[in-house]
């Protein structure tokens, strides 16, 4: 079996999550062959950690890889993806898939820009015949995959979904700046539960009607709560946002009239809060992605756990906590990498595919148009 040589664009948080996942791949001969990022010190350190070759830019790395895994900031996703696709490489794009990175004023123009960016990537991949994957780990989380099985095998009709992703602020140094991130909480966090909702309705539609059930309209509100004049900053929440929201609420109506509500904020202490509830005509499921109470630990002195990772964004290691026994597994990172690489070998279509990516972008940016109109209902522009 010929090895798949993978090159990673980026060397920060997402790249390290993917590195852990590549080490767990089975049944596919894969080698992490290269890494590129703007900072030589960081890319060299990452290369040393994984045994890859560091490259000064993507163009230098492309001749040495079969697959390009894009883990760089959102504003770089489209140019990197197009460069790799035109070179005939399979491409895996971290969330958010792409977006609009101009001035945050004028959301309808941003919606058009985000859709055009999505379409350029998707159309290029189809024209070149390469596998295009969207790195939405929520789709592959074991809890969501079990709900997929329930929906498929029980003939369920999903009536309402309620979910969210929140914590105390992103790891990324460019988060909070629209020209780099393409938005705030709605894009950076809301994309996760939203895509899971879109995925489960698509699964329902294919299983019981032969075609996916897709989003039709959205209503949305966003707020900048940590920039309120009377906000009292105690130093626990990240607040250095330049021009993005730190709270979002998105209401989605699907083609069949059913609904989903998605919350995403930077206002939650005590670790990441990721959950999805599904209310169907024959069952109810709560998917807990984080925290997961596999174990409880009490630590009377924070310093004792200085070198022990407990769970993302915990804030303090003192007192009771719920350490993640295998955080990458429970949040779906192993599954997303496994599925994508298998598709690169077989020519198949990942569960988190171009359609999921494009529909997510369309729904998120239609949400921004709605928020600009104080929550008025807006149609989701689908292909």
Q: pTM of the entire structure?
A: 0.96
CATH number of 4-135: 3.40.50.720
Taking the CA atoms of residue 166, residue 170, residue 176 and residue 182 in that order, the dihedral angle to the nearest 10 degrees is -80
Q: Which residues contact 230 (CB under 8 A, 6 or more apart)?
A: none
| Closest to 138 (Cα-Cα) out of 11, 290, 16, 292 | 290
Closest CA to 47 of 78, 4, 6: 6
Tell me: pLDDT of 171 over 90.
no
Task: Give the position of tokens 């670790």.
Answer: 271
**Cβ atoms within 10 A of the Cβ of 306, count?**
8
Query: For residue range 339-360, what is the model confidence (pLDDT) as tens digits?
Result: 999 999 999 999 999 999 999 9
Token readout for 113 is 């820009």
Topology annotation, domain 137-379: Dihydrodipicolinate Reductase; domain 2 (3.30.360)
Is pLDDT above 60 for 5? yes
Residue 135 sits at φ, ψ, to 5 deg, of -80, 65
Q: Where are the domains of the chain?
A: 4-135, 137-379
- With CA atoms as reference, report the closest residue to 204 among 255, 136, 266, 137: 255
**What pLDDT shows up at residue 78?**
98
Instruction: List the structure tokens of 34.
Output: 């290269």
| C-alpha span between 13 and 169 (Å, rounded) | 14
Task: Give the confidence band of 307 by pLDDT, cuts at 50, 70, 90.
Answer: very high
Q: Tell me the pLDDT band of 109, cut-offs 50, 70 and 90.
A: very high
- Residue 1: pLDDT over 60: no
**pLDDT confidence band for 146 (50 / 70 / 90):** very high
- Is residue 319 within 8 A of residue 339, CB to CB? The reply is no
In whole angstroms, what is the distance from residue 371 CA to residue 351 CA? 30
- Residue 269's CB is within 10 A of a number of other CB atoms, namely 15
C-alpha 20/C-alpha 16 separation (Å) is 6
Distance CA 241, CA 176 (A): 4
Could you check whether 4-135 and 137-379 share the same CATH topology?
Answer: no
Q: Collect all residues with Cβ–Cβ distance below 8 Å to 124 and sequence separation of at least 6.
A: 81, 82, 85, 86
Separation CA 369–CA 178 (nearest Å): 15
């Amino acid at each position: 079996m010929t090895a798949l040589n993978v090159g990673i664009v980026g060397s920060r948080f997402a790249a390290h999550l993917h590195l852990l996942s590549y080490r767990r791949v089975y049944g596919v001969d894969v080698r992490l062959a290269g890494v590129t990022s703007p900072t030589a010190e960081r890319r060299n350190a990452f290369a040393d950690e994984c045994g890859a070759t560091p490259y000064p830019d993507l163009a230098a790395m492309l001749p040495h890889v079969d697959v390009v895994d894009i883990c760089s900031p959102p504003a770089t996703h489209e140019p990197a993806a197009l460069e790799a696709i035109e070179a005939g490489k399979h491409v895996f794009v971290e969330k958010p898939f792409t977006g609009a990175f101009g001035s945050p004023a004028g959301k309808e123009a941003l919606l058009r820009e985000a859709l055009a960016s999505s379409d350029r990537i998707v159309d290029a991949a189809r024209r070149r015949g390469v596998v295009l994957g969207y790195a939405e780990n929520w789709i592959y989380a074991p809890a969501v995959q079990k709900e997929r099985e329930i929906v498929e095998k029980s003939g369920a009709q999903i009536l309402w979904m309620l979910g969210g992703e929140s914590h105390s602020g992103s790891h990324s140094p460019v988060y909070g700046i629209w020209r780099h991130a393409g938005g705030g909480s709605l894009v950076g966090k809301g994309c996760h539960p939203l895509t899971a909702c879109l995925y489960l309705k698509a699964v329902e539609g294919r299983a019981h009607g032969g075609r996916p059930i897709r989003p039709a309209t959205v209503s949305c509100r966003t707020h900048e709560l940590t920039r309120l004049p009377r906000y009292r900053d105690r130093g626990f929440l990240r607040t250095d946002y330049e021009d993005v929201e730190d709270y979002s609420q998105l209401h989605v109506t699907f083609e069949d009239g059913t609904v989903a509500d998605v919350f995403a904020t930077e206002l939650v202490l005590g670790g990441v809060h990721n959950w999805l509830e599904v209310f169907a005509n024959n069952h109810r499921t709560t998917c807990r992605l984080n925290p997961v109470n596999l174990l409880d630990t009490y630590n009377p002195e924070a310093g004792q756990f200085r070198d022990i990772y407990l769970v993302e964004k915990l804030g303090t290691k003192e007192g009771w906590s719920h350490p993640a026994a295998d955080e990458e597994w429970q949040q779906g990172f192993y599954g997303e990498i496994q599925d994508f690489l298998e598709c690169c070998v077989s020519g198949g279509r990942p569960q988190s595919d171009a359609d999921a990516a494009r529909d997510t972008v369309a729904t998120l940016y239609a949400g921004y148009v709605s928020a600009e109109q104080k929550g008025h209902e807006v149609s989701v522009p689908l292909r």
